[in-house]
Structure 1
Amino acid sequence: MWDHEVDVLCVGGVIGALASAVVAADAEVEVLVAISSADDSGWPTDRVEDEDTVAYFAALTDGLATSPQAMADVPVRPVRPLTAAERRRAAPFYGARLKNWTEQCLLSPYGLLHTRVTDWRTTTMRTLDNRPVQVKTVGRIALPAAGGPAPLATWLEEQARVRDIDIESDARLQRLVFEEGVVVGAVLETAAGPYAVRSRHGITLAPRVAHDVAEYARGDDEAEVALISEIGSRFARVELLAAAPPAAPPAATCSSSNRRLPKAMRESRRNRAEPRRSREMNGNPPFGQ
């Protein structure tokens, strides 16, 4: 039944598909990228007629708009590593945020969808508003010497060449293949006819939008490219990372193990030991009484 088998199949637009493919290749798994050369935009499922595939995508998008915007500046997200205390605690799950995040990814030219989430190892970090996000580093891009937007498409194509990633440049999604309700592969529409690919660790779908691929003068400044996702979401977005300020140190608390007290409480005890005239000053007791 299968014409080819890989670990990860990436289908659709250059930026999302190649970013996911680079991450997979760096994890030393076999990856195939399928990119259509036709001048069509949108998500790979937009032109699919297979009912099961259409129903699958509709269930994940929950009636949200799925028309990606034209190319815009790459999102920049300040993040910081977790503190030791945060690493000891399980990251909270905010289910109410997932729909909003899904909509952001669906409308972004940098969005993508993973059919599986359990096979992707990520790092949990915190944003400026202290929200946990999942981060998967793609690499570091040299920014243009003359300024302007980061040339992600050009950089990603170069990264794919360096890693010798297999790319089908004239293929589009015909349908997804399911086994017991789980996506196990896809049938691609190629010039030579249908091409069935089994994917052992899932499929990445990414929207196709117009983009420029051209050489550029590299400057000295660099930025880190990463896949960002909310915890528990199948959707991700290609973003640039920036350093957020470190977390504020926790407030001092009473420790039952060593009986250490915060400064305010120690001073309160000293106040209680002072002469009575101190307690009667201004007709008010000192703090702590």
Structure 2
Amino acid sequence: MKNDEEPIEASEWQWDDVVDVICAGAGPGALAHAICCADHDLDVEIADAEISWQALDPDTAAYLASMTEDLGLDGTPDRDLELTAVRAEPVPVRTDRRATIEPFFGSRLRDWSVRCLASPFGVIYSQVPDIMTPMRAESAETVRVAALGDYRPDADRAGRALAEWLREQADEREIYGASGMVLQRLIFEHGRIAGAELSTPEQTRLVRATAGVALSIGPAPAEADWPVQTGLPGAAQVAVVSRTASRFGRVELLYSV
């Protein structure tokens, strides 16, 4: 585990395991973040069962509501199963006195958050990840990107094919946990997420997450539900994309400008 050399704060909970990151949910968004974390030598725990807003315990439901209450939503948004492409190029990061601060546009972050919530490729972070690289999109907006690998989109049901590709990548990295692992609740300490209660039919475990939790809300689409999607460009990179200071991310196809 990457953080073995770092001291872990004392806790009131009796943890069964300690990992860097917990990724939970049936959607491919949480799986993509797990792959990203594994590629950065982080220890990952995966709970791959569906997370339902209605079935969550009150504290966890209240936390998710607080993440979305300023988005103007009445419940969860309609699902968007289209796979999205983004064109971007690397940008140098300046740290000297001439470095400029990117303008903050609340409406842009709101729209981005809603799009992530609507997508099965979306993911919600308990804390902003620091393993993403800044890039400049065609829109001139700065995005944050973590590339997962080269990919050529399927000519038919692009979203379904990419979800299958992500499962294959997880298998190659051997990061799958126990089959049917379910997130029962998030565990909070001092006003922040410290870990989660995870269960299978055989056991329940309390798992501490030192670098945060990533959630994919809602069911994974059935194979027949993925839309036919043509017109995507050729070879690309699969990437987890976010915005500066955002706790929402989404898997997109990344092309060079």
User: 1:68 touches 1:109 (CA, 8 Å); kept in 2?
Assistant: no
Query: Partner of 2:205 in structure 1?
Result: 195
Residue type of the partner of 2:182?
A: R
Distance 2:126 2:93 in 1: 32
1:85 is displaced (CA, Å) by 8.2
Query: Partner of 2:20 in structure 1?
Result: 7
Matching residue within 110, 118, 130 for 1:120: 130
Identity across matched positions, percent: 37
Residue type of the partner of 2:87?
A: P
Within a 5 Å distance, the mapping from 1:23-102 to structure 2 comes to 23-36=36-49, 44-62=51-69, 64-65=73-74, 67=76, 69-70=78-79, 72-82=81-91, 88-102=99-113
Which blocks of at least 5 consecutive residues in structure 2 are unaligned? Answer: 1-13, 225-233
SS in 2 for 1:72: coil
Matching residue within 137, 159, 171 for 1:161: 171
User: 1:65 touches 1:103 (CA, 8 Å); kept in 2?
Assistant: no
Runs of 4+ in 1 over 4 A off after TM superposition: 68-71, 83-88
Query: Partner of 2:231 in structure 1?
Result: none
Query: Partner of 1:152 in structure 2?
Result: 162
Cα separation, partners in 2 of 1:159 and 1:115, compared to 1, 3 Å: same
1:12 is displaced (CA, Å) by 0.2
Distance 1:165 1:172 in 2: 16
Query: Partner of 2:214 in structure 1?
Result: 204
User: 1:68 touches 1:209 (CA, 8 Å); kept in 2?
Assistant: no
TM-score by length of 1: 0.71
1:192 is displaced (CA, Å) by 1.8
Residue type of the partner of 2:110?
A: K
Residue type of the partner of 1:122?
A: M
Distance 1:29 1:55 in 2: 28
1:88 is displaced (CA, Å) by 4.3
Judge which range, 165-174 or 106-115, deviates more. Answer: 165-174
Within a 5 Å distance, the mapping from 1:167-182 to structure 2 comes to 167-182=177-192
Distance 1:210 1:101 in 2: 21
User: 1:154 touches 1:212 (CA, 8 Å); kept in 2?
Assistant: no
Distance 2:68 2:101 in 1: 27
Residue type of the partner of 1:60?
A: M
Distance 1:175 1:8 in 2: 15
SS in 1 for 2:103: coil
1:83 is displaced (CA, Å) by 6.2
1:96 is displaced (CA, Å) by 3.3
User: 2:28 touches 2:220 (CA, 8 Å); kept in 1?
Assistant: no
Cα separation, partners in 2 of 1:67 and 1:160, compared to 1, 3 Å: same
Matching residue within 20, 37, 41 for 2:33: 20
**Greater relative contact order (Cα 8 A, min sep 6): structure 1 or 2?**
2
Which blocks of at least 5 consecutive residues in structure 1 are unaligned? Answer: 214-220, 245-289
Distance 2:148 2:120 in 1: 17
Q: Deviations over 1:71-95 (max 9, x none)?
A: 6231111112226889943333323
Cα separation, partners in 2 of 1:149 and 1:227, compared to 1, 3 Å: same
Q: Which has the larger radius of gyration?
A: 1
SS in 2 for 1:121: coil
Distance 1:83 1:29 in 2: 26
